[in-house]
Amino acid sequence: MGDMNQFENAAAIPPRSTAAERWLHLFGLLLLDGALLAAAIGISILLRFETGFRASGASGDFFGYLPVYEAVFLPVLLLGGFYRIYWKYAGLHEIVLAFILCAASGGIVYIFNGIFSFGFSRAVIVMAAVFAALAIVASRIFGRGVRYLHRTALHMKNRDHYKRVMIIGAGSGGANALALYKKKTYENIIPVLFVDDDPAKRSYRFDNVPVLGGRRDIPGLAMKHNIQEIVISVNPANIVNMDELIQLCRQTTCRIRLLAGIDNIDKNQTAKAWFKDLDIADFLMRNEEHLDLSSVSAYLKDKTVLITGGGGSIGSELCRQVMRFSPKLLVIFDIYENNAYELECELRQNFNGSCREEVVIGSIRDIRRLQEVFAKYKPEVVFHAAAHKHVPLMEKSYGEAIKNNIFGTRNLLEVSAASGVERFVMLSTDKAVNPTNIMGATKRINEMMVQVFAKESGMKCMMVRFGNVLGSHGSVIPLFEMQIKKGGPVTVTHPDIVRYFMTIPEAAQLVLQAGSFAQNGALYALDMGEPIRIIDLAEKIIRFYGYEPNVDMPIKITGLRPGEKLYEELISEKELQRLIATENKKIFVVPTDNIDEKLFYERLARLEREVEGGVFEGETRKAVIQRLIRELVPCYTPNGNGGKQEQKPEPVQAQQNQREDIAPSAMPSYQAQSGI
């Protein structure tokens, strides 16, 4: 989390007013400070000489000091930016600045006294500077003190009408949460106490809010102090034994919220956007890599960005992340209007209209609609996140999967290239590696297609391959949550099935980062960490909701579904041998083989003819389509049997594409899985 200075910097924001009001306000402050300076001089002379203003050894002491001090102190304060401070939100930085400016003014008077022989007492010069600083700062914070006492009195009077909050984490994150709660937006909330596992902090107080215990004290403290809301101010990935912490919080009746990371929130967002309800994705999250903001901003700032599937799980998060970089226009392209509309409302609220966004309804299968949209908005950067992705459903509706995922992507590539798009980034999946289902095979064909367009077109094309994301539409986590809320059972297809996971924000950030590398035709793979057994994930989620697995919430094994693997591979064994590191330790380049474009297009055309006008029905027709897909993707093994094909078609990869401009580097933390 950032430190308190991020909030204290708000002190420099002037209140809204007319120019005349600002000049009048400045004149009043100069008069006030002139009077305080005179008082500081008078007190200093009295303390030094103890004989009144006209002390022996100096003629006209007070009235000799006064014009010199006024002529030096007030211009120094003015030029030093002191009168641009908005003291309602001032902090330590502004107080230190006041003392520095007064010390500098005293130093100038001291120098003038030596040059012009004013006969000023050196002790008076020093004391007057100190007293002036104290008086000026005190005058500024007096109003805050009055407001604090007034607010405290209101809290005491109306305590039953205020929401009482416990903050977990008495570090910089907790201080940030407290600062936000103290802002006017949260006047109906009282931060009551902190909880921290560090015993050394138990005697600390933050703005008069005490640290009263550790995590094991949470249930008791919540009951004793009538807490209604618990805020976790620490990144869940950095919390030791997060499971236990959640269980302790769940023992209370409090709402559990999370302070979002400062680095991940745009400054244009409203303060309320900094707090969110804790969900299972936060509970399971791992440490996230910070974006190289400069490289991402370089290709997004002041650009027109179009995101297909912008209303989906990954697409919507890409939209949120892109908005942080101030694009000229964000075009949210989606066929499903409800999600896109909700996202548009969210972006307008959170970013206060600071960036322009436009929702466009359409399908990537409709090339004329794409041409209309691209002609109107002229996008410069395209992120392609639209796809049918549900494996069992696509096994049944294989024709729709092929039309949308493959030929919709072809439409998008053709229109993007013809419209002068500078950069095209396609999102791929680990299911494209040695695919056993139609969906994965379509994504592998898409990877090959982007490679071909990268070579033939003038735009920079790249692909980003990653695994499952936590909480995406149709994924296992929302299913588990729904089953738990209905009382169970929680269904798992196989006790040994494993998957790679990362959070939606992390996936979106790494996609943006990969897009900044701009290596034409590159296939990037994201380091997903270690694979997770789905049954272990189910048990974690059950505990998150306060149940004990197979005690009061049963787990049922249902068997693998059509096209489903026991394990997924982020990279194949062949790709692993030639993997290349990038500047980001979680992003790797997967070297690709050259593609025989003529053979690729011939086989793609045969597949299209069969899908659009085939005469076979049911399983017979599916077998024909699977054979045509295998001509394009020889490693495609339907039904996940993993067996070798008797006759392997001529590969469309002609030869290994050696890249001499990048030296081999370290391998990622994961390895291609060969079995369980």
CA 408 to chain centroid: 30
* Cα dihedral 10→11→15→21 (10° resolution): -160
> What are the backbone dihedrals phi and psi of residue 83, each rounded to the nearest 5 degrees, phi first?
-85, 5
3-state secondary structure of 611: helix
Listing from the earlier edge strand, what are the strands of the sheet with 329-334? Answer: 357-361, 329-334, 304-308, 381-384, 423-429, 460-466, 522-526, 587-590, 580-581
Do β-strands 532-533 and 229-232 pair in parallel, antiparallel, or remain unpaired? Answer: unpaired
Distance CA 2, CA 35 (A): 39
3-state secondary structure of 633: coil
3-state secondary structure of 326: coil
- Count of residues for the chain? 676
In the block, tokens 């986590």 appear at: 477
In the block, tokens 């999600």 appear at: 339
Distance CA 609, CA 529 (A): 41
Nearest Cα residue to 247 out of 634, 562, 546: 546
Distance CA 290, CA 295 (A): 12
Distance CA 661, CA 454 (A): 17
SS3 per-residue string spanning 43-102: HHHHHHHCCCCCCCCCCCHHHHHHHHHHHHHHHHHHHCCHHHCCHHHCCHHHHHHHHHHH
Q: Which of 303, 389, 403, 431 is catalytic?
A: 431
Do β-strands 229-232 and 255-259 pair in parallel, antiparallel, or remain unpaired? Answer: parallel
DSSP state, 220? H
Distance CA 50, CA 59 (A): 15
Distance CA 137, CA 129 (A): 12
Distance CA 235, CA 247 (A): 17
Burial bucket for residue 574 (CB in 10 Å: 0-12, 13-18, 19+): middle
- Look up 431 and say whether it is catalytic: yes
Residues designated catalytic: 431
